[in-house]
A and B are shown apart, each in its own frame.
Chain A
């Protein structure tokens, strides 16, 4: 079995850090919550699949520095070196894109949400297919509950982003529109 071979190869890798848990010891816990194939099954826990490396690096940095207060992420990143963060970000970028929500689509909701995406230019910063670019994250196929939670937190200034772009962007977006956007974006491949 393939994983047997790579497991043996993996056993040969040693990443030594000065902390209680090395990077390689922590990664299984990351994947346990966030999903092994890039898709999270857990409420309000984001899918990480195919996330842009610069964005992941920024968020991991914010967690490590406790600029973004969100357990268990602050604990999970404690003591990781800058290089560990880069390694993790690159690893995350290689996870498969998240599986979007499946099911019959409400076409009226989709059309209305597409208009919102146009109007608020989500598809500019996040790229036309919402797969993200550079420091702007992939959002296509993200968990619907996480999208709603995140947009609300940005709008209410509760979540302090790295820069303030999302707070600015969401200023004219209503809560009802946030719900509609999340519906659509969670179903995008």
Chain B
């Protein structure tokens, strides 16, 4: 590119950039770009002829990160060097300029009335388009963690006698957590490629990047010195990890017979009392008939052998734990979107036999036959949840409280992180709840425990997982800010920095 630059062109570009940089700065308020006189559309793209049958997309073979190929020096295509002169437009419009506006297609209609008829049986029939609903979109956090002094730790509310503090900041997209035998806290992520390790050295806490270049390493488990990592489509292990935190060996893949769907593909991982690894394979859609490889919880031996479907009809579970006494698996499950504001709710389920079916996509929340897939089925064919966890609340990570720090009323129940809704006009969830159980393992109550993640119907933080530390305090990961908070009770030793 450089050889073809003329000095005059460089000046023109520099001027454009300078103008843009200035506009981005303090002058922005006074010189909004819209007020600049529009230059003649010299760069107007000629009208495409009606697109011919597009060539089959040459999908590049997926490159496992971080395959950093030898990148050539960037050379923009030569065509770019020539700014097209205001050539007569090849468009079929009678003239360029304002007349072109006449051929601009109308914006997507706001009223359903203008859309052509939907196919019979479509779940979209009768669905209103109104302004508040039409802004709903999944919320992605910024990729860069919030600075420690920007964390809203003072906004959180916990019951009397409890205290919340920042355990660690700068843990980008902090998600699932595990504690090693030597006290290392391992943290996975969903949107970035890293696993972090948090260690305490000389009374100070350090956040290290343990692994980089992984593919949605959301699932973590730890047992007998070995760390297990569940990425989107493979599970690996690293032995004696806490002895090698500064230069951890490359993880060994133990299992990869997994679909590669991005949608609901990220995994949660847990080790059962049977020493097997449990993980889910989410449905690759909002609402669809999954294959026999999706919509389930599987388990495998620690060496990756003996894969078995443990629970079916599970839309996407991102949190599970084993009852300390009955040893039964309890799991949260995210319900489908776009059915309604309030129904179906997310679920807390309990597995009592191998292969049990929990309803998806035929029946949600135990009593909501799906409008699309529920025909010819009955909710009574499936196992209902032990608790409904609120509409679109995104109940994710959960742990039975097995510590000794918290008072008696918190023994034997479950802390659940509710990430919070996006598919609801008035957001729901965005908190940590405590689930009290009856002696028979059914649910007695679901009560808010840690709130304040929502402010004016916007998230200031979002909890993804909880972890009971050996000292009995509770860690809560915040994947929105990239931080971890610690909840302690009474004179629980203050977490040192």
Asked whether B66 lies within 8 Å of A66 as measured between CB atoms, the reply is: yes
Query: What is the bound-complex CA distance between A66 and B108, given in angstroms?
Result: 35
Kindly identify, within residues 1 to 24 of chain B, every residue whose CB is under 8 Å from any CB belonging to chain A.
1, 10-24
Asked whether B13 lies within 8 Å of A31 as measured between CB atoms, the reply is: yes
Query: What is the bound-complex CA distance between A7 and B74, given in angstroms?
Result: 24
Residues on the A chain within 8 Å of B17, using CB: 10, 24, 27-28, 31
Query: Is there a chain B Cβ closer than 8 Å to A161's Cβ?
Result: yes
Q: What does the 1/0 interface line of B381-415 toward A look like (CB < 8 Å)?
A: 00000000000000000000000000000000000
Kindly identify, within residues 168 to 186 of chain A, every residue whose CB is under 8 Å from any CB belonging to chain B.
168-169, 171-172, 179, 182-184, 186
Residues on the B chain within 8 Å of A10, using CB: 14-15, 17-19, 21-22
Min CB gap B495→A, angstroms: 27
Query: What is the bound-complex CA distance between A58 and B192, given in angstroms?
Result: 10
Q: What does the 1/0 interface line of B81-115 toward A look like (CB < 8 Å)?
A: 10110000101110010001101111111101011
Residues on the B chain within 8 Å of A13, using CB: 18, 21
Asked whether B105 lies within 8 Å of A187 as measured between CB atoms, the reply is: yes
Query: Is there a chain A Cβ closer than 8 Å to B213's Cβ?
Result: yes
Asked whether B140 lies within 8 Å of A104 as measured between CB atoms, the reply is: no
Query: What is the bound-complex CA distance between A115 and B112, given in angstroms?
Result: 9
Query: Is there a chain B Cβ closer than 8 Å to A80's Cβ?
Result: no
Residues on the A chain within 8 Å of B81, using CB: 32
Query: Is there a chain B Cβ closer than 8 Å to A16's Cβ?
Result: no
Query: Is there a chain A Cβ closer than 8 Å to B80's Cβ?
Result: yes
Which residue of chain A lies nearest to B338 when distances are taken between CB atoms in the complex?
Answer: A121
Q: What does the 1/0 interface line of A42-86 toward B look like (CB < 8 Å)?
A: 100000000000100110011001110101101110000010010
Residues on the B chain within 8 Å of A162, using CB: 140, 143, 191
Asked whether B51 lies within 8 Å of A157 as measured between CB atoms, the reply is: no
Residues on the A chain within 8 Å of B143, using CB: 57-58, 61-62, 162
Residues on the A chain within 8 Å of B193, using CB: 65, 67
Query: Is there a chain A Cβ closer than 8 Å to B183's Cβ?
Result: no
Min CB gap B165→A, angstroms: 26
Kindly identify, within residues 25 to 81 of chain B, every residue whose CB is under 8 Å from any CB belonging to chain A.
28, 33, 38-39, 41, 43-45, 47-48, 50-51, 54, 57, 59-60, 62-63, 65-69, 71-77, 79-81
Kindly identify, within residues 361 to 392 of chain B, every residue whose CB is under 8 Å from any CB belonging to chain A.
none
**Given A164-B265, A184-B105, A136-B285 contact (CB < 8 Å):** no
Q: What does the 1/0 interface line of A2-24 toward B look like (CB < 8 Å)?
A: 11111101110100000000001
Min CB gap B400→A, angstroms: 29
Which residue of chain A lies nearest to B144 when distances are taken between CB atoms in the complex?
Answer: A82
Residues on the A chain within 8 Å of B140, using CB: 54, 58, 135, 162-163, 165
Query: Is there a chain A Cβ closer than 8 Å to B137's Cβ?
Result: yes
Query: What is the bound-complex CA distance between A8 and B18, given in angstroms?
Result: 8
Query: What is the bound-complex CA distance between A182 and B48, given in angstroms?
Result: 12
Q: Please count how many residues in chain B sit with their CB below 8 Å of the partner chain's CB atoms.
A: 103
Q: Which of B128-136, B248-256, B446-454, B481-489 contacts A (4 or more CB under 8 A)?
A: B128-136
Which residue of chain B lies nearest to A143 when distances are taken between CB atoms in the complex?
Answer: B45
Q: Please count how many residues in chain A sit with their CB below 8 Å of the partner chain's CB atoms.
A: 105
Which residue of chain A lies nearest to B96 when distances are taken between CB atoms in the complex?
Answer: A102
User: Interface centre among A71, A103, A165, by most B CB within 10 Å?
Assistant: A103
Asked whether A66 lies within 8 Å of B213 as measured between CB atoms, the reply is: yes
Kindly identify, within residues 104 to 158 of chain A, every residue whose CB is under 8 Å from any CB belonging to chain B.
104-106, 110-112, 114-115, 117-119, 121-130, 133-136, 143-145, 148-149, 152-154, 156-158
Asked whether A75 lies within 8 Å of B71 as measured between CB atoms, the reply is: yes
Query: Is there a chain A Cβ closer than 8 Å to B325's Cβ?
Result: no
Query: Is there a chain A Cβ closer than 8 Å to B284's Cβ?
Result: yes
Which residue of chain A lies nearest to B33 when distances are taken between CB atoms in the complex?
Answer: A94
Contacts A/B (CB < 8 Å), 19 sampled: A3-B14, A28-B10, A31-B17, A58-B140, A58-B142, A71-B71, A82-B144, A102-B103, A114-B115, A115-B115, A115-B118, A119-B115, A122-B108, A144-B48, A148-B57, A158-B62, A162-B191, A169-B286, A187-B104
Q: Which 5 A-B pairs have the closest CB atoms?
A: A10-B18, A3-B15, A103-B47, A125-B137, A167-B262
> Which positions in A face B, CB cutoff 8 Å?
2-7, 9-11, 13, 24, 27-29, 31-33, 35-37, 39, 41-42, 54, 57-58, 61-62, 65-67, 69, 71-72, 74-76, 82, 85, 87, 90-91, 94-96, 99-106, 110-112, 114-115, 117-119, 121-130, 133-136, 143-145, 148-149, 152-154, 156-158, 160-165, 167-169, 171-172, 179, 182-184, 186-189
